Amino acid sequence: MTAVSGAERFYVDESALGLGRTLTAARKDVIHVGHPLIPECPLGTLDDDWMRAVAARGLVAIGRDKRIRTRPAEREAIRESGLRVFRIGGKQDQSTWDWLGRFVRYWNRMEQIVADRPEGPWFYLVNQTGLSEVPLDGPLR
């Protein structure tokens, strides 16, 4: 697997585009849907397509898509492609500012998970109270 330009390690999908643009401005290792460094993932890219493209490039996905847990095809795409995912958890939507605070708080732990588990597939929820792994053999909550 090869990253986009060698510096990027994280990709934020369209479900958290505001967070993606903010993280991209703050960090050199983050890109987002529609970013010129990942032309195969323009705005509106179907989930199965961006998942496979992101996994093929060795990037770790960040997103908010609540429906991923109810779509067997997407779960299968995660498994088959070896995608590594951090999903924003919680039942209530929050502002980009609130999400950013959460990611800043847990970024070091996320980095440790990526270092400890360089191969996927895996799936973690980034909740207000911490990170929790969700098994990929059942529904993703």
Whether the model pTM is above 0.85: yes
| Residue 59: inside a domain | yes
Question: What confidence tier does 2 reach under pLDDT thresholds 50, 70, 90?
Answer: very low
- In this structure, what are the phi and psi dihedrals at residue 88, rounded to the nearest 5 degrees? -65, 120
The answer to whether the beta carbons of residues 69 and 141 sit under 8 Å apart is yes
CA distances (Å), origin 16, targets 30, 33, 59 = 13, 9, 16
| Structural domain count, the chain | 1
Q: What is the pLDDT of residue 68?
A: 72
| Residue 1: inside a domain | no
Angle at 53 between CA 39 and CA 98, to 5 degrees: 80
CA distances (Å), origin 60, targets 45, 80, 85, 95 = 17, 15, 6, 22
| Residue 2: inside a domain | no
Which bin fits 87, alpha (ψ -120 to 50), beta or left (φ > 0)? beta
Round the average pLDDT of the chain to a whole number and report it: 89
Please give the residue range of the domain that contains residue 80. Answer: 10-133
Q: What is the pLDDT of residue 67?
A: 73
- Closest alpha carbon to 53 in 114, 120, 1: 1
Q: 29-55 pLDDT, tens per residue?
A: 999 999 999 999 999 999 999 999 999
